[in-house]
Amino acid sequence: METKTYTISIYTENNLGLLNRISTLFVKRHINIESLTVSYSEIENVSRFVIVVNMTEVAVKKIIGQIEKQIEVIKAFYHTDDELIFTQTAMFKFRSDLLFDEPQIQNIIKENNLNIVTVNKTFFVVEKAGRQNEIDALYEKFKPFGIAQFVRSGKIAVSKEAMNIRQILNDFNK
Amino acid sequence: MSLQTEKITGAEAVVKCLIAEGAELAYGYPGGAIMPIYDELYKYQDQFHHVLTRHEQGAVHAAQGFARTSGKVGVAMATSGPGATNLITGIADAQIDSTPLVCITGQVASHLLGTDAFQETDVISISSPVTKWNYQVTKAEEIPAAIAKAFYIAKSGRPGPVVIDITKDAQQSVFDYKGYEKCTGVRSYIPAPSTKIEAVEKAAELINKAKKPMIVFGQGVILGNAEAEFKAFIEKAGIPSAWTVLGLSALPTNHPLNVGMVGMHGHYGPNKLTNECDVLIAIGMRFDDRVTGNLNTYAKQAKIVHFEIDPAEIDKNVKTDAAVLGDAKEILTKILPLIDEKSHNEWLQEFRNYDKIEYEKVIKAQLNPTKEGLTMGEVLQGINRATKDDAVIVSDVGQHQMMTVRYANFTHTRSNVTSGGLGTMGFALPAAIGAKMGAMDRHVVAVIGDGGYQMTCQELGTILQTKVPVKIVVLNNEFLGMVRQWQQLFFDKRYASTEMINPDFIKLAEAYDIKAKKVTSRADLQGAIDEMIAHKDAYFLEVCVEKEDNVFPMVPTGASVSDVRLE
């Protein structure tokens, strides 16, 4: 069966240990997590996990069942990329002298509308938010000049469809 | 909830909460990080009973046995580090067999967490994959709510084990105890999905149209206290009903619609006819691989109806045509009026025809053997006779376990206690201690192989100390019999590390002041079993059985259930 990139969104209570509990569900099934982000959500005291995996749809459905079974999980969803609005952020750090020695770097910054996070005498940092392929392309462009540090965030995504978590929480309270 | 508050320690709150929750007793083993709680157990010993086992694994299995016969939540306690890790096997066993447990572990003081302190282990992380829920308490004031939530989660919905890890400083510090309030709900947790009438109607339609319906029922019937509703349903619909290992005893053995066990060592008829029925109704079971054999050839001709409390089980292994979510009792109550009154006599006769073949090829040699060596089947038959088919039988794991579930007869529910999903050798002796304490008015007989017995036989010490009158039958074939059987059938008889040189089991039992007898011949068997059952105290019976006997029928791994072998 065909594997695809699925983005799993999980709304949970904000409890210690839940990240471990959820990640073990993937480990148990020998599934590698491509990226994972946890943050607070639009609802107070409710956390949101965004997990990216490559799996078959049958397997992702089953793992959603196992995730929802966890006591402190409110609801889990899975989506393909076309059902989502999503982005990632990357940061690139360089030596400051490169800004002057390599004019091409300035061009890349301008052409890609990169945000300069900080500049000082020894280093400067630029950031880029976008799709993974855009970040990958940028990485390739910067690579010849010597990237001092690079980091990319996990994918964050909102679904095109409503997820109605408030309604689900109200239903729990009934 | 009492309005008065009192200043007490966290440790005292633990014991007060257990009493207020209605837990009668706990099984456990003390140690440094849980000593404050044990000190309170000492003070409250007239209100709450603690059973000292000889190993933490014994404590957790005893709590499981107690839960399985009593239907209540079993409680186990252990100290931090090795105490807690020794509980893990039993916790994993309870998780896969849906047994309600609350395990309380001591933990190093909160300021020492993460310092590799003496007897520190990360119990929350270790237990996460094998618990329904777990929680670490670091402040005394969290204790009442944590314990209330633990009991609620352990017993509600699909039951399971919960671990509450309590740091030593939380046990020692004093707080304002405002009384115990039982938990009635957790916001993000739906114990049992509500049963939708449309789903029930769809299932009823398939069942009513069926010409060759077959039921496979599991422990969900027992856990949902739905035995009466289940019986009413199958009797009205006239459907032959087969059980999984854990469903056993939900329906009396002699019920006319009871057609035996499905799965690897199940009965011939239900395995063969799984692949001939037109509607297969699964009730409170999870299509374990030991039940289904090769999924690609499992009941492909049948419409599958699944009554199930856990949404994650739907379509997990077998794709359903009609899934009905909910508690077994609720589903069966709702479906009963929609079911046509029927009998499927010709279809039922097909099961009985296979029974005759199985009797001739397998059962006769077990129950009426002509060769000299004793069979495991005849020992079970002897126990059936002596207890009038009405004992609680606790079995361990292996050949004797499969012989027990095949040949033990049951009249009452909650009478078959065994380690099903995890297959934990060493389960039976401690589980029998708990099973007896959970059903003091019943005969409790532990049937154990010589291998599994030696994994937890130190619990004879618990029997000595508590005087719990359990009956222990060791079926001794001087082999790890099930592994040996596989070696014989699939590894050209290379008996790698399966032959056992055993100690003198009689002397061992006698060392613990337990009356003991050894039987080697058929002539002495029934008399010895009768004497054991009649004996008022604990009793140990060793039966030397045929060394290289095999359990049949058998569905080899990867084979279809309808390719079940009789020899």
Whether A28 contacts chain B with CB within 8 A: yes
Query: Which chain B residues are closer than 8 Å to A72 by Cβ?
Result: 133, 186, 188-189
Residue in chain B closest to A72 (alpha carbons) equals B188
B184 in contact with A at a CB cutoff of 8 Å? no
Q: Which two tokens stand for residue B15?
A: 């014991």
Is the CB of residue B353 less than 8 Å away from at least one CB of chain A? Answer: no
- CA B217-B71-A62 angle, 5° bins: 50
Quick check: A172 and B187 CB within 8 A?
yes
Query: What is the edge-to-edge ordering of all strands in the sheet holding B241-243?
Result: B258-261, B241-243, B213-217, B279-283, B303-308, B322-325
Which of chain B's residues have a Cβ under 8 Å away from the Cβ of A61?
315
User: Which of A12, A19, A71, A168 is the mutation pick for testing B, counting most B CBs within 10 A?
Assistant: A71
A111 touching B, CB under 8 A? Answer: no
CB B252 within 8 A of CB B226: no
What chain A residue is nearest to B153 in terms of C-alpha separation?
Answer: A71
**What residue ranges in B131-196 does DSSP mark as E strands?**
133-137, 161-167, 174-177
- Is B153 in contact with A71 (Cβ distance < 8 A)? yes
What whole-number distance in Å separates Cα of residue B406 and Cα of residue B263?
A: 11
Residue whose C-alpha is closest to residue B427's, from B449, B444, B410: B449
Best of B151, B188, B306, B310 to mutate (most A CBs within 10 Å, chain A): B188
Residue of B43, B118, B493, B499 marked active site: B118
Interface test with A, best of B187, B295, B315 (most A CBs within 10 A): B187
Q: Which of B376, B402, B403, B482 is catalytic?
A: B482
Reduced DSSP (H G I as helix, E B as strand, rest coil) percent helix, strand, coil of chain B, to 5: 45, 20, 40
Nearest-CA residue of chain B relative to A60?
Answer: B316
For residue A100, the model assigns a pLDDT of 87
From residue B500, alpha-carbon distances to B374, B450, B451, B452, B495 in Å are 18, 8, 8, 11, 11
Residues of B with CB below 8 A from A69's CB? 310-312
A39 interfaces chain B, CB cutoff of 8 Å: no
Residue numbers in A near B167 (CB within 8 A)? none
CB-based contact, B311 to chain A, within 8 Å: yes
Mean pLDDT, range A125-137, rounded to an integer: 95
**Per the structure block, which two tokens stand in for B184?**
């009635």
| pLDDT interval class at A173 (50, 70, 90) | low
Q: What pLDDT does A169 receive?
A: 86
Q: Are B337 and B204 in contact (CB under 8 A)?
A: no
| Number of A–B residue contacts, CB under 8 Å | 54
Domains and CATH numbers, chain B: 6-177 (3.40.50.970), 197-351 (3.40.50.1220), 369-544 (3.40.50.970)
Average pLDDT over chain A, rounded to whole? 94
* Residue-level pLDDT at B164: 98
**Beta strand pairing call for A115-119 and A123-130:** antiparallel
CA-nearest residue to B311 within chain A is: A65
| Cross-strand bridge partners of residue B539 | B471, B515
pLDDT reported for residue B24: 86
DSSP track, B532-567: HHH-SS-EEEEEEB-TT----SB--TTSBGGG-B--
Touching check for B129 and chain A: CB below 8 Å? yes
Exposure letters A8-30 (e unless 16+ CB within 10 A, then b): bbbbbbebebbeebbeebbeeee
B184: nearest CA in chain A?
A: A173
B168 is catalytic: yes
**Contact (CB, 8 A) for A12 and A72:** yes
User: Which residues in chain B are contacts of A71 at CB distance < 8 A?
Assistant: 132-133, 153, 186, 188-189
Distance, in angstroms, between A6 CA and closest chain B CA?
Answer: 19
Spatial separation of the C-alpha atoms in residues B8 and B153, rounded to whole Å = 26
Sheet of A46-55, strand order: A33-40, A46-55, A4-13, A73-79
Contact B133 A24 (CB under 8 A): no
Per-residue pLDDT of chain B (567 residues; tens, 9 = 90+): 456 799 999 999 999 999 999 998 999 999 999 999 999 999 999 999 999 999 999 999 999 999 999 999 999 999 999 999 999 999 999 999 999 999 999 999 999 999 999 999 999 999 999 999 999 999 999 999 999 999 999 999 999 999 999 999 999 999 999 999 999 999 999 999 999 999 999 999 999 999 999 999 999 999 999 999 999 999 999 999 999 999 999 999 999 999 999 999 999 999 999 999 999 999 999 999 999 999 999 999 999 999 999 999 999 999 999 999 999 999 999 999 999 999 999 999 999 999 999 999 999 999 999 999 999 999 999 999 999 999 999 999 999 999 999 999 999 999 999 999 999 999 999 999 999 999 999 999 999 999 999 999 999 999 999 999 999 999 999 999 999 999 999 999 999 999 999 999 999 999 999 999 999 999 999 999 999 999 999 999 999 999 999 999 999 999 999 999 999
Q: Does B306 touch chain A (CB under 8 A)?
A: no
**Any idea where the domains of chain A sit in the sequence?**
4-79, 87-152
Query: Cis before residue B100, ω within 30 degrees of 0?
Result: no
Contact A20 B316 (CB under 8 A): no
For B530-558, give one letter per residue: b (16+ CB within 10 A) or e: eebbeeeebbbbbbbbbeebbbbbbbeee
Length of chain B as a residue count: 567
Of A24, A61, A74, nearest to B188 by CB-CB distance is A74
Beta carbons of A66 and B312 less than 8 Å apart: yes
Respond yes or no: is residue B139 known to be catalytic: no
Q: Which of B268, B242, B289 has the alpha carbon at shortest distance from B567?
A: B268
- pLDDT greater than 90 at residue A1: no
Distance (Å) from the alpha carbon of B66 to chain A's nearest alpha carbon: 25
pLDDT of residue A168: 87
Task: Tell me, yes or no, if B134 comes closer than 8 A to chain A by beta carbon.
Answer: yes
Cβ pair A12:B188 closer than 8 A: yes
Q: How many CB atoms lie within 10 A of CB B282?
A: 25
DSSP E strands in chain A: the ranges are 4-13, 33-40, 46-55, 73-79, 84-95, 115-119, 123-130, 149-152, 156-159
Q: What is the pLDDT of residues A150-166, one digit of tens each?
A: 999 999 999 999 988 98
Q: Which residues in chain A have their CB less than 8 angstroms from residue B187's CB? A: 13, 74, 169, 172-173
For residue A70, the distance in angstroms to the closest alpha carbon of chain B comes to 7
Which chain B residue shows the shortest CA-CA distance from A24? B129
Note the ipTM here.
Answer: 0.94
Domain A87-152: homologous superfamily in CATH: ACT-like. Chain A, domain 2 (3.30.70.1150)
Say yes or no for a CB contact (<8 Å) between A65 and B316. Answer: yes
Q: Percentage of residues in chain A with pLDDT exceeding 70?
A: 99
A residues 71-100 lying closer than 8 A (beta carbon) to B: 71-74
Residues A69, B312: C-beta atoms closer than 8 Å: yes
Confidence of residue A170 (pLDDT cuts 50, 70, 90): confident
Q: How far is B195 from chain A, CA to nearest CA, in Å?
A: 15
In the block, tokens 């029934």 appear at B526
CATH superfamily of A4-79: ACT domain (3.30.70.260)
Residue numbers in A near B189 (CB within 8 A): 71-72, 172
Q: Check the CA dihedral B556-B450-B417-B67 and report its sign.
A: negative
User: Can B349 be counted among the known catalytic residues?
Assistant: no
